[in-house]
């Protein structure tokens, strides 16, 4: 089985916005605001009842965006995500059954881990890019530096507790391909339709290139 590599998706994209979308009508203007600011790779989390509809709305309206589904926790989520138009999948953690389903998915997947043992198990399956979550709570930059020794071929997308204050430290690591963060789309800004503010935040985040 050949596992699809997600790393090419992140070319030139230092930050992946992690979005919890409450209202479907916010999905397209939010994604457009982020793309206008230079962040075209977008993760919609499966934390609301609107997540699949939000992915579909973005995929249909903004072909220039690369929208994926995050917080995938069950194999059954995968087929629904593909049907909605998700271009990649992200899990917060990866039990064996989910790892197998993600490995067989028709789109790239970034399975989640928080320990070296979990990372090794996923590497044995053939995954080369993993989500490190929750990054700050699990050791942050220090963990990633330590992991580079025994896991030199693995790359990571750390998410959780990352913002403009510490993003550059993560992106400076050679085993980090991108970081995930929700700070670029504050809930209060989305709630009032302040999408110009979100474009500004996206532009600042997009400037965090190596």
Sign of the Cα torsion 135, 125, 153, 150 reads positive
Catalytic residue among 22, 25, 43, 56: 43
Specify whether 56 is catalytic. Answer: no
Between the alpha carbon of residue 155 and those of residues 12, 21, 148, the distances in Å are 16, 28, 9
- Alpha helix (H) ranges present in the chain? 24-36, 51-61, 75-84, 96-103, 116-125, 140-147, 167-171, 187-191, 195-206
Lookup: tokens for 185:
């789309």
Catalytic residue among 87, 131, 136, 145: 131
Q: Indicate which residues carry an active-site annotation.
A: 43, 131
């Amino acid at each position: 089985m050949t596992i699809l590599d997600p790393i090419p998706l992140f070319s030139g994209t230092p930050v992946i916005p992690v979005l919890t979308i409450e209202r479907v009508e916010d999905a397209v203007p939010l994604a457009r605001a982020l793309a206008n600011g230079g962040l075209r790779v977008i993760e919609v989390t499966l934390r609301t009842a609107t997540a699949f509809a939000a992915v579909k709305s973005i995929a249909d309206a903004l072909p220039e965006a690369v929208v994926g589904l995050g917080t995938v926790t069950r194999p059954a989520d995968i087929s629904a995500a593909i049907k909605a138009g998700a271009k990649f999948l992200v899990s917060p953690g990866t039990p064996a059954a989910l790892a197998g389903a993600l490995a067989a998915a028709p789109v790239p997947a970034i399975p989640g881990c928080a320990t070296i043992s979990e990372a090794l198990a996923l590497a044995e399956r053939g995954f080369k890019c993993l989500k490190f979550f929750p990054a700050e709570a699990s050791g942050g930059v220090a963990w990633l530096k330590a992991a580079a020794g025994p896991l030199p071929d693995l790359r990571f997308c750390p998410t959780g507790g990352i913002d403009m204050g510490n993003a550059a430290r993560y992106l400076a690591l050679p085993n980090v391909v991108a970081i995930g963060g929700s700070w670029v789309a504050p809930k209060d800004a989305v709630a009032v339709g302040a999408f110009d503010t979100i474009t500004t935040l996206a532009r600042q985040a997009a400037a965090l290139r190596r």
